[in-house]
Structure 1
Amino acid sequence: MGIDVRKRFFVVAGVLIAAVLFLLPTFFPKQMPANWISKPLSLGLDLSGGIHLVYQVQTDEALKSRLQSMGNMIRSELKKEKIPVLRVRVPEEKTLEMTFLSESSADRAQKRIESDYRNLMFKQKKQDEGRSVLLFTIADTYAAEIKRNAVRQSIETLRSRVDQFGVTEPVIQQIGEERVLLQMPGVSDIAAVKRVVGSVAKLEFRLLHTSTSTSGRVMMKDSEGGSVAVEDEVLMTGDAVDDARVAFSTATHGAEVSLSLNSEGAKTFAKITGEHVGEQLAIILDGIVKSSPRINERIGGGKASISGSFGAKEAEELAVVLRAGALPAPLNVLEERMVGPTLGKESIKAGITAIIATLIFIGLFMVWYYKKSGLIAVMSLALNVFLVMACLSAFGATLTLPGLAGLALTVGMAVDSNVLIVERIREELRNGASRDAAVVAGFDRALSAIIDSNITEILSASILYFVGTGAIRGFAVVTAIGIVMTLFCAVFVARTFYELFELKGKDQLISV
C-alpha cells in the first residue's frame, strides 16, 4: 500500500467513524448521553404524525390595539399636566379619537400630542354634545410597519409557547404577509394546542367602575357570563409580568396563577394599590374579568395572583401563555389537520422500501453489467446514503417524506457518476492502457463531466430551497447534501477502493 493510498484509506475510515458517531443517537436514543455531539434524527410531521395548523394574524386588530395603547399613554401624560381626557377610543382603523371636557383642554392637548408624538397626524376637531373631540390618524407606511411587526411578534410568541410542549423540531414560519404555519410533530391533543398556542393572553388591570355615570365606563363579561363595569383606563398590562406559576389558593381552595412582576411592573403595581386603597381592581384576561379583589393596602414586592373557577390544567395552560407573553393580535385558524402516527409509519416504511429497492435493483444491474467494478459502485452508493443520514443528524435537520424522496433520488443520480467512471476505464483498457493507468485516466477524464453535472444539480437544489417553503425545502436540503456526498463517494472513495483491491477479471486486467 503506497503512501497516497494509505492517506486515502485513513480519510475514508475517519469519515466513516465520524458518521457512525453522529448516527449513534438515532440508532440508540436511550443509551446515549444528553450531551452527545449530535441528536437523534428528527422526523417531520408527515413521518411521525402530529398537528398542522395555519393561522391568520388579524393585523387590523393589532393596529387598533397599538393605537389604543398610544392613546392610553397620552392620556396618562396629559393627566400629569392637569388636562383631563374623558374618553380614548379607536373608532376605525388608523384613527384615534380623544374626548375632552372643554375646547381649551383639547387645544392644549393637540399642541402636546403634535409635539411629542410625531407618528400621529391631526385629522379633525369636532364637537360632540358640548365636548371637544380630537381625531388623529397615522401614515400608511407606519400602519404597514405595525402590521409587519405584529406578524413577526406573533411568530416569536408562538415559538415561546410551543417550547413549553417540549416538541422536537417544530415548524413555525410565515406564509405570505399575514399567515403563520405551525407544525408540531408527535403532538396529538389539537384542542390543547389551540388553547395554549392560539389564545391572545392579553392581561389588563383596571379599576371597577363604581360611579353612576356612564362616562369612562367599559362593559365586560366575567367568568360566569355576567356583566361587569370597569374603567376605560388600563392601569397595567401583561408586559409587567416576569413569571407566572400555578399555586394553591387557601382562600378558594383551588388552583390559581401566581404572578411575579418585573421591576417596573412592581413599582407600577405598588403605586396603583397605594393610590386606590378601598377600591376593587379588576384582573382581565382576553376581555374576561377573572377576579376583582378589593385593595386593602399598598402591595409591594411585585407579587399578584389570578384566581377563578378553573382547574389545575387550565391554570397551568394560563401560566404557560402568560410566561410566553401576549400575542399582538388574535389568530384565526384557517386550516387544521391531524396526521396520525400510523400514517407516518406507513410513509416511513414506504420510503425506506423505495430506497432499498432502488439500491437492490441498481446494485444487481451494476454487478451484472460491470462485474467487480459494479460491486465497487454499489459499495459507494451504500456509503453515500449512510453519509447523507449522518449529515442530517449532524446538522440537526428534520427528515420529511419529501426528504426520503430526495434520498431515493440521490441514489439514482449517484449511479451516473459511477457509470461515467467505469465506462472511461473500459475505454482506456480498449486503447491498450495498463490496469493502473486505465484507472487513473478513467477517473481524471470523468471528473470534469461529474463536476459539471453535479454543479447544475446543486444550483437547482439551491433555487428550490430559497424559493420554496416547507416540504420543498426539505427535499432541496437532502438533495444538496446527497450531491456533495456523491462527489465524495464517486471521486474519492471509489478510487480508494480501486487502489486497495486488484479486481482482476478472467480475460481482463480489471473486472469491468
Structure 2
Amino acid sequence: MNIKKQLVFVLMLIALCGLYILPWKNFGVNTDFLNKPYTLGLDLQGGVELDYKIDFSEVKTSSGSHYNEMTIVESLKRIIDKRVNSLGLAEPNIQTMKYGSETHLIVQIPTKDYKDLGPEEKKKQQEEDIKNAKATIGKVVQLEFKELKTEFTEADKKEREQIAQNLQKDLQTDGFDATKQKYTTQYENIFASSGTGTLPKEIQFPEFANIQEFPYISPVSEAVIDSLQTVDEAGNPVIKTSTGLAIVQLDARLGSGSYDYKYFIVDPKPTQWQVAKTKDGKILSDAYLNNASVYITPVGEAEVLLNFNEAGKQIFGEISSRLIGKQLAIYVGGEMLTAPVVQDAILNGQATINGQKNVVEAQNLVNDINTGIVPAPIYLTSERTIDAKIGDNALSKILIAGFIGLAGILLFLVFFYRIGGLIAGAALIVYTLFLVTIVKMTGVVLTLASVAGVILSIGMAIDANILIFERVREALKDKKPLDSAIKVGFNQSWTAIWDSHVTSLTSAFILFLVGVSLIKGFGLMLGIGIIVSLFTAMWVSRVFLLFIGKKMKKQTLLFIGYKK
C-alpha cells in the first residue's frame, strides 16, 4: 500500500471515530449504538459502595466440607450483577475482600446522571435507585416446601436457645442491621426493634443501671413477652406468662432509665412448619428447579408455575403422596406464599404459587426466583455514599493540568522539531480521538485513576516521537535524503520503543490482574493507552511524516529543525 492510500485510510479512520463520538442525540438521532453513554465511576459520577458479608454457615451445615467457596462467591457475583442490571443502573463493580476468616463482597454502583431533572428531583431519584439496589441485591430468595409440625420437642427448645446464643455472638461482630437481616429472614418468630428513651417493659433488666461502658451487649436473658390474667380450676386468679429469649444492645445512656437501644426477642417456640422430606431425608428445594414462569388461569388470575427436573419430580411426587388431605406450604425468601391442602399426588413435577394480586406482582416473584436463588445468604454490613463533587473538582483540575502540560509539550516539540513537532501534536490529538472512541464503544468505566493512566500513556507517546525524531536527525547527518531518513528513524527507534511499551504493558496487565478496583482501572486504561499510543506513534505519525516529508525534501530545517 503506497503512502497516499495509507493516508486516505488514516483520514477515513479519523473521520469515522470523530463521527462516532459526536452527541448525536442533540441532532435528533436516537440510535442506541451512536448514543451509547460514557460510563463514569463513583468518584466522577457519585454512587454507593455496599459491603456484604457472605454467610457460609448453612452451606457448611448442609454440605459439610464438600463445598467450593470460590464457586459460591463467583455465583453470587453473577447474581448481584444480574439484579443490579435488572434495575437499569450502571454496570456494578464487584470485588471480593477477605477480613480475617470472613469473606465480603464490595459492590460499587454508580448512580444515574438524570441530566434532565432539577437538583432536588435528581437527588431524590438517585436515593430511590440506591434504596432499590440495596433491597434487590440483599434479597434472599430461597424456595422451600414445608409441612405442619405434629409436636414440639425438647430438642426444638434447645435449638432455639442455640439460635439465640449465635445471634448474640453475631451481634457483637456484625452489628445490628446485618444481624437483623440474617436472623429475621432465616428464622421465624424472631422480633427485632430499636429506639431511644425508656426501655420497653420486656427488656427492663435491673442490671442495666450499673452499666458504665457503652456500647453494651447483654447475654441471652429470659424476658416476659406476654402475660394473661385468668383463673385456675378452683377459681383463684392467676397470671399466665409467656417468655422469650432477649438480647439487648445499649449504645448510650441518655438519662436516668433512658437509653439509645436495640434488641432482639427469640420466641422459644419454633415455627409450626417444618421442612417436608422424603423417607430417605431428601428435601424439595430450589436445587431441583428448572425455571419459574407466569401462568394466567382461564379466569384471568396470575399464578407462578414452578417446573422441577426429573429428580425434583420424584421427590415432589413422594412428598405430595404422603401429605394427601394435609397442607403443604410454599415459602420463598422465608415468607409463606401459599399453603394449599394436597388433594392428590402431584406426579408431573410442577407446583403452583397463587395469591398474587396481579401479573406484575407474579412477574416480580418469577424474576426473583429466576435471576438467582442465592447459594449462600449475604448481609449488608456497611454502606458508603460517594459524592461526585469531589471527583468533579479533581477531574477539572486534572484536565486543566493536562491541557497546560500538553500545550507545553507541543510548544517544546514545535520549538525543537518544527513541522515534525506539529505533526507529533496532531498525532496526539488523533490518539485522544481513538481512545475516546474505544472508551465509548466498550463501556470502560472512567475513574480518576483511569484518567491518570491515560495521562501516563500520553507521556509514553511523546517519548516515542522524540526517539523517532532524533534517529531521523542522525540519518540526515549521514547525508541520507529526508524520506529515507524518516524510514531509517522509525526502523532504528522501533526496538527501544517496543521494549519500553512492552515493559509498561506488562506492568499494566499485572496491576489489572491483582489490583483492587481503583488500581484495576488505572492498569486497564494505561494498557489501552499504551497500545493506542504505539499505533499512533509508529503508524499514524509515520504516514503523516512520510507524506509531508516528500513535499519538503529540501527544507529539513523547517521540517525537523536540522540544517544540512
Normalising by structure 2, report the TM-score.
Answer: 0.64
Q: Residue 199 of structure 1 aligns to a residue in which SS?
A: coil
How far did 1:148 drift? 3.5
Greater shift after overlay, 346-355 or 321-330? 346-355
CA 165–300 in structure 1, closer or farther in 2 if over 3 Å, else same = farther
Match of 2:80 in 1: 158
Tell me by how many angstroms 1:211 deviates.
4.7
Aligned equivalent of 1:43, options 19, 30, 40: 40
Distance in 2, Cα, partners of 1:345 & 1:31: 28
| Alignment of 1:179 onto 2:179 | no
Task: Give the partner amino acid of 1:458.
Answer: L
CA positional deviation for 1:20 = 4.1
1:150–1:442 distance in 2 versus 1, CA, 3 Å? closer
Stretch of structure 1 that moved more, 502-511 or 156-165: 502-511
Question: How many Å separate the matches in 2 of 1:509 and 1:206?
Answer: 88
**Which is further off, 260-269 or 45-54?**
260-269
Could you tell me which amino acid in structure 2 is paired with residue 181 of structure 1?
I
**Residues 20-31 of structure 1 mapped to structure 2, 5 A cutoff:** 20=18, 23=21, 31=29
Q: CA deviation at 1:378?
A: 0.5
How far apart, CA to CA, are the structure 1 residues paired with 2:396 and 2:16?
27
| Offset at residue 321 of structure 1 (A) | 2.5
Deviation at 1:262, TM superposition (A): 3.3
- Give the 5 Å matches for 1:270-419: 272-297=319-344, 302-305=350-353, 307=355, 318-343=365-390, 345-346=392-393, 348-419=395-466
Aligned to 2:143: 203
CA deviation string 1:262-286 (max 9, x = no partner): 3545665565445423312222344
Instruction: Judge conservation of contact 2:292–2:304 (CA < 8 Å) in 1.
Output: yes
Q: CA deviation at 1:467?
A: 2.3
Unaligned runs of 5+ in 1: 68-93, 95-141
Q: Is it true that 1:55 corresponds to 2:52 in the alignment?
A: yes
Shift of 1:380: 1.0
Aligned-pair CA distance for 1:375: 0.7
Cα separation, 2, equivalents of 1:352 and 1:500: 32
CA distance in 1, matches of 2:17, 2:106: 33
Contact map agreement 1:434 1:509 (CA 8 A) in 2 = no
Task: Please state how far the C-alpha of 1:198 moved relative to its aligned partner.
Answer: 1.4
1:470 to 508, 517, 529: 517
Q: Distance in 1 between matches of 2:60 and 2:146?
A: 22
Q: Which amino acid aligns with 2:418?
A: K
Q: Specify the SS of the correspondent of 2:52.
A: strand
**Matches of residues 221-236 of structure 1 in structure 2 within 5 Å?**
221=188, 228-234=271-277, 235-236=283-284
**In structure 2, what is the Cα distance between the partners aligned to 1:418 and 1:324?**
51
**Among candidates 257, 269, 286, match of residue 238 of structure 1:** 286
Task: Say which of 425, 445, 453 aligns to 2:500.
Answer: 453
Moved more, 50-59 or 496-505: 496-505
Segments of 5+ residues of structure 2 without an aligned counterpart are: 113-125, 161-186, 193-266, 278-282
Q: Is the 8 A contact 2:304 2:362 kept in 1?
A: no
Contact kept in structure 2, 1:354 and 1:408, CA below 8 Å: no
Superposed, which structure 2 residues align to 1:14-163 within 5 Å?
14-17=12-15, 19-20=17-18, 23=21, 31=29, 33-34=31-32, 36=33, 40-64=37-61, 66-67=62-63, 94=64, 142-143=65-66, 145-163=67-85
1:6 match: secondary structure? helix
Identity of matched residues, %: 29
Residue 510 of structure 1: aligned partner: 559
1:196–1:320 CA contact under 8 A, matched in 2: no
Contact 1:406/1:475, CA 8 A, preserved across alignment: yes
Shift of 1:323: 1.9
Q: Structure 1 residues 45 and 507, CA, compared in 2 at 3 Å: closer, same or farther?
A: closer
The answer to whether structure 1 residue 258 and structure 2 residue 269 are counterparts is: no
Cα deviation, residue 149, structure 1: 3.2
1:205-263 Cα distance to aligned partner (Å, 9 max, x none):
11112457778899863799996312354452234555556899999xxx987243235
Q: What residue number does 2:259 align with?
A: none
* Partner SS, residue 385 of structure 2: strand
SS of match in other structure, 1:508: helix
SS of the equivalent of 2:324 reads coil
Q: CA deviation at 1:383?
A: 0.9
For residues 459 and 402 of structure 1, what CA distance do their matches in structure 2 show? 18
C-alpha change, 1:61 and 1:507, in structure 2 (3 Å) is closer
Q: 3-state SS of the aligned residue for 1:167?
A: coil
What is the rounded CA distance, in whole Å, between the counterparts of 1:488 and 1:211 in structure 2? Answer: 76
Q: Distance in 1 between matches of 2:362 and 2:96?
A: 30
Pairs aligned (count): 431
Task: Provide the rounded CA distance (Å) in 2 between the counterparts of 1:379 and 1:157.
Answer: 46
Whether 2:14 is the aligned partner of 1:10: answer no
- The one-letter code matched in structure 1 to 2:111 is G
How far apart are the structure 2 equivalents of 1:445 and 1:480?
Answer: 24
**Contact kept? 1:205, 1:282, Cα under 8 Å:** yes
Distance 1:243 1:347 in 2: 48
After superposition, the Cα gap between the structure-2 partners of 1:230 and 1:399, relative to the gap in structure 1 and judged at 3 Å, is same
TM-score normalised per structure 1: 0.70
Distance 2:500 2:444 in 1: 26
For residues 42-63 of structure 1, give each alpha carbon's deviation from its aligned partner in whole angstroms, at most 9, with x where no partner exists.
Answer: 3333333333223221223321
Contact residue 388 and residue 478 of structure 1 kept, 8 A: no
Question: Residues 301-360 of structure 1: CA distance to partner in whole angstroms, max 9, x if unpaired?
Answer: 72422648x999987765432222322222133442223455555455445444433322
The range that moved more, 312-321 or 474-483, is: 312-321
1:114 is aligned to: none
- Rounded Cα–Cα distance in structure 1 between residues aligned with 2:516 and 2:383: 18
1:504 Cα deviation from its structure 2 partner: 7.9
Q: Secondary structure at the match of 1:398?
A: coil
Give the CA deviation at 1:376: 0.8
Do 1:373 and 1:503's aligned partners in 2 also have CA atoms closer than 8 Å? no
Q: Deviations over 1:442-465 (max 9, x none)?
A: 333322222222222122212212
Give 1:404 deviation, angstroms. Answer: 1.2
1:496: Cα distance to partner?
A: 1.5
Which residue pairs with 1:85 in the alignment?
A: none
SS of equivalent to 2:87:
coil
How has the CA–CA distance of structure 1 residues 275 and 211 changed in structure 2, closer, same or farther, with 3 Å as cutoff? same
Alpha-carbon separation, structure 1, partners of 2:388 and 2:352: 42
Distance 2:344 2:434 in 1: 68
- Measure the CA separation in 1 of the matches of 2:359 and 2:384: 28
Asked if the contact 2:145–2:331 (Cα under 8 Å) also holds between the matched residues in 1, the reply is yes
